[in-house]
Structures are given as C-alpha cells and as structure tokens.
Structure 1
Amino acid sequence: MRAMIMALILSLTAGIASAKPPLREVPEIDGTILAVGIADEIRTNCPDISGRLAKAYRTVLSLKSRARDLGYSNAEIDAYRKSDAEKARLKGARDAYLRQGGVAQGQAASYCDLGRVEIEKGSQIGALLRMN
C-alpha cells in the first residue's frame, strides 16, 4: 500500500513538473516572434532599409523546432501561431515598442531612424535588417 501511495505521489508531482507554460510566456519564443514583427514593420515602412528575409524565415523555423524541443506539440505551436488574440497582443506590443523608439506612424524617417539604431546595436531586431 505504501508503495502505491508513493507511486501515486511521484506520478502527480511529475505531471506538475512537466506542465508547460503557454508559449506566450516563453521569452525566447514570444520575444523572438515580437522581434521579427518589429523588424518587418520597420522594413515595410522605411525605404532605406530591407529585411533579411531568409534569416527571418530561418529564425521562425528554428523557433518551431525549439518549441518542439521544449515539449510543445505541433498543435500547440500552431494554435499559438494562428491565434487572433495572440496576433493582436503581439501587434500591440510591437506598436508600443515602435512608439517608445520614437516612431511616428506614417513618417518613414522615424522608422528608418529606429531601424538604423537597431542595426548599429546589433540587436535581435537589427540582425533581421540591412541598409539598402
């Protein structure tokens, strides 16, 4: 009886230990998706900056692989990726980052200024951009 109780306790605690947070709470996944979105917005609105699209594509593919390595299923990854609520949340975070970086919507120069800063810093965002 004691062995059964111990086995039950161990199985319950193993389940708790293996519980995964939502992907939005995994900084390396969510933060990288946000960085890709910010870089895309900068390259779309600044005529002097292009995106390193192949690098961005590889980055996104590697995120999916990393999420699987962390124990997330393809269904969980796709649910996060396709969620309208997550897209809206990330868009809001992107827009807030752009505002904090001095971007004024509709003013290409402000996107270019932030893009140049990110490239010069060698940030995750800057690594996805290049000057034309």
Structure 2
Amino acid sequence: MKRFTLTLAALAIAAPAYALVPINEEPVIVETLLQGFIGDAIDDNCPTLEARKLRALSELTKLRDYALKQGYSASEVRAFVTSKEEKAKGKAIAAERLKERGAEPGNPDAYCAIGEEEIAKDSLIGQLLRSTK
C-alpha cells in the first residue's frame, strides 16, 4: 500500500508536466499562424506578390496534425482557427510586426520589400508568397 501511495503521489506531481498549455498559447502553433497572417497582409498590400494558397493550405494541414499530435482535440483546433477573436488578435500582432519593419497600409513598397526579403530567405512567410513580376 505504501508503494501504491508513493506511486500515486509521484504521478500527481508529474501530471502538471504533461498538461497542455491553452492552444492559443502554444508557441509553435501561434508563431506558425502568425507567419501566415504576415504573409496574408503582404499579399493584401503588395501588388507584385501574391499568396500561394495551396502551400498555405498544406501548412495549415501540417499545423493541424502537429496540434493533434501534441494532444489537442480536433474540436479545440477547429475552435481556435475559426475564432474571430483569435484571428483579430493574430492580424493585429502581424500588423505590429510589419510596422516594426516599416510596413504600414498605404506603403506598398515596404510590404513588397519585406515580402521579397522573406522569399529570398526562404522563410515560411516567403514560402507562402509568389512574385508576379
């Protein structure tokens, strides 16, 4: 009985280590979606770059699979990616990051320069964009 109690106590202490953070705080998920929001903003504001929609869909599928492997349920994932509040928050953060790099609405050259830089770096943002020049 003592061994059982010790084992139970050890499991109780270890259990929080296995607890998932809320999906909207999981770093890989949040950062990957943010890269998509940045790419989308560049697509919206730069006339010579466009989104690679099939690539974006592929990345979303990979991200969904990652989330499921981490232990999030399909309904948690779906609720997160369809949340208007989370989408607005992501777009606001993306706009802030772009602003820090000199891009603001009404300045397409800045968005284009950032997009071309990301394409050259072969970053996820760059992989989500294609030049139409």
TM-score (norm 1): 0.89
Query: How far did residue 14 of structure 1 move?
Result: 4.2
Q: Which amino acid aligns with 1:96?
A: E
Q: Relative to structure 2, which stretch is displaced further, 1-10 or 65-74?
A: 1-10
C-alpha separation between the residues in 1 aligned to 2:68 and 2:13?
A: 22
Given the alignment of the two structures, is residue 122 of structure 1 paired with residue 122 of structure 2, yes or no? yes
Q: Which amino acid aligns with 1:104?
A: E
The residue number in structure 2 matching 1:89 is: 89
CA RMSD between the two structures: 1.6
Alignment of structure 1 residues 58-69 onto 2, 5 Å: 58-69=58-69
Given the alignment of the two structures, is residue 38 of structure 1 paired with residue 45 of structure 2, yes or no? no
Where in structure 1 are there 5+ consecutive unaligned residues? none
The residue number in structure 2 matching 1:50 is: 50
Alignment of structure 1 residues 101-116 onto 2, 5 Å: 101-116=101-116
Q: Relative to structure 2, which stretch is displaced further, 5-14 or 22-31?
A: 5-14
C-alpha separation between the residues in 1 aligned to 2:94 and 2:86?
A: 12
- Percent identity (aligned): 35
C-alpha separation between the residues in 2 aligned to 1:27 and 1:37?
A: 15
Between the two proteins, the alignment pairs up a number of residues equal to: 132
